[in-house]
Amino acid sequence: MKGSPFYEPRKITDKNLEKIIADHTEELRKGEYEREQASCLFGGYVLKINGQNKYFPQCCGDLGDIVYWEKISKKESSYYEGHPAPEYKFGLNKVIFDFSVGEYDEYFEPTPPEKILEIELRKLNKAVEKAKIELKELSTRVIKINEKMKLGIDRIEDLLIWENPNHK
């Protein structure tokens, strides 16, 4: 979406990805904090239905939040992807999100076009699987950049993409 701070990972150039990784891991590499205190790359996942953006990542969202979307797509209770977070409940073969005013009167940014959104679990699961394929491609790129830049970060793909230590 024009003006959005979110990008599809495959559209980020290697040069920009190198800078993102270097900046995001700088304090860790300097020893200013431990790995357990680090977070995945900031961002998250835009919920898109029929080509329309319906919900954007909120404050504190990161790439590790894929675990929450995956759980929801499998009709399992999950934590949240940042805040505010929509309330949700499961129907027969669907999940129903409620985007009314969030906890502590925080508002969603941008405002979702609908207050109530129903999604077939099968379609959500398919979208999650597609996102995971793209994340695996990003993982390969991140590993190569770690080697090229000699960052020396063990399992950097887990640190920046797959783990979510702040929400475990």
Domain hosting residue 82, numbered range: 9-167
Residue 1 lies in a domain: no
Q: What is the pLDDT of residue 102?
A: 59
Residue 2 lies in a domain: no
Instruction: Point out which residues pair with 94 in neighbouring strands.
Output: 120
Residue 97 lies in a domain: yes
Q: What is the pLDDT of residue 167?
A: 41
Residue 110 · residue 6 · CB < 8 Å? no
Q: What is the pLDDT of residue 98?
A: 92
Gap between the Cα atoms of 10 and 139, Å rounded:
11
Tell me which H or E stretch contains 88. strand 87-90
SS3 22: helix
The pTM (predicted TM-score) of the whole model is 0.89
- Per-residue pLDDT tens digits of the chain, which is 168 residues long: 677 788 899 999 999 999 999 999 999 999 999 999 999 999 999 999 999 999 999 988 999 999 999 999 999 988 676 788 888 999 999 999 999 865 567 888 888 999 999 999 999 999 999 999 999 999 999 999 999 999 999 999 999 999 754 443
Gap between the Cα atoms of 14 and 142, Å rounded:
9
Q: What is the pLDDT of residue 168?
A: 39
Gap between the Cα atoms of 71 and 139, Å rounded:
21
**Dihedral in degrees, nearest 10, Cα atoms 7, 95, 110, 47:** 20
Number of domains composing the chain: 1
Residue 88 · residue 99 · CB < 8 Å? no
Gap between the Cα atoms of 22 and 3, Å rounded:
24
Instruction: Tell me the H-state helices in the chain.
Output: 14-29, 66-73, 121-148, 156-157
Q: What is the pLDDT of residue 96?
A: 96
